[in-house]
Amino acid sequence: MIRAEKGTVYLVGAGPGDPELLTVRALRLLEQADVVFHDDLVPDATLALVNPRALITSVGKRCGRPRITQQGIHSLLIESARAGQSVVRLKSGDPLVFGRAGEEIAALRAAGIPFVIVPGVTAALAAGAALELPLTDRNSASKLIFVTGHHAEGKDAAPLWSGPLPEDATLVVYMPGRDTSRLARDLRAAGVAGDVPCCAISHAATPQQSHAACRLNGFDELECGPAPLLMLVGRAMESLLCEASAASALGKVVAGPLAALVERARD
């Protein structure tokens, strides 16, 4: 069984939000840690599992505004480890997927601080599970592509995608930003076919999760939920459109005593 060693930093994936999606290793480290530095998106229900004697500090961002600089986070991790504490850096999703773990790893190595990486469930996988939607399928998708709409400050933003999307691929867009209609226009301009199904998931794998699906041509008018958002694009999303069409058809033909039943089925 893993023990939270003094003087060691643990880069731990908190998963997408549901505390029950924490790994066993992550839970054990949270129960033993002396210090926990967490992202803003880590929910209170997960923080409630932390050692009650631990110092818990948020080092995340809200709407892109940092509470502390990345260099400040590095200093906290290094100083806490050098003070002989066991340190958990609790990161949303998986630490190595569109986080800043690479910078933290480099800082820890340069300071000679031992560290351990503990994987977490990334949002795309949790969203697929919650929607009962395979992101890959031997009939429709044999490729899974992760991209992000968020870039480092001062870095020229490269195009999110270039060229047609392979017919057998699912494109997952993390942090697409608030202007999702512009994102859809950019994808079409890059060459992605307008009839490709897409889905926007808000607050994946949390009690607040919601989703909306359509074809890329209609995404400009789609009402998406609040951030954090995740966007899925590809033929594997076709089943979501079929479900939406079936629910719409039921609503048109069913009336009387069955109307309430159909409404509950939609919910």
**In the annotation, is 220 catalytic?**
no
**In the annotation, is 39 catalytic?**
yes
Preceding omega of 228 cis (within 30 degrees of 0): yes
| List of E strands, 20-119 | 35-38, 55-58, 61-62, 65-66, 87-91, 115-118
Around 137, how many Cα atoms within 13 Å sit in the side-chain half-sphere? 15
User: Which of 40, 137, 143, 175 does the annotation list as catalytic?
Assistant: 175
User: Which of 6, 61, 179, 195 does the annotation list as catalytic?
Assistant: 61
Report whether 209 contacts 237 (CB < 8 A).
no
User: Which of 39, 40, 168, 220 does the annotation list as catalytic?
Assistant: 39
- For the four alpha carbons of 255, 260, 265 and 266, in that order, the dihedral sign comes to positive
Q: Please state the separation of Cα 134 from the chain's center in Å.
A: 16
Q: Catalogue the active-site residues.
A: 39, 61, 175
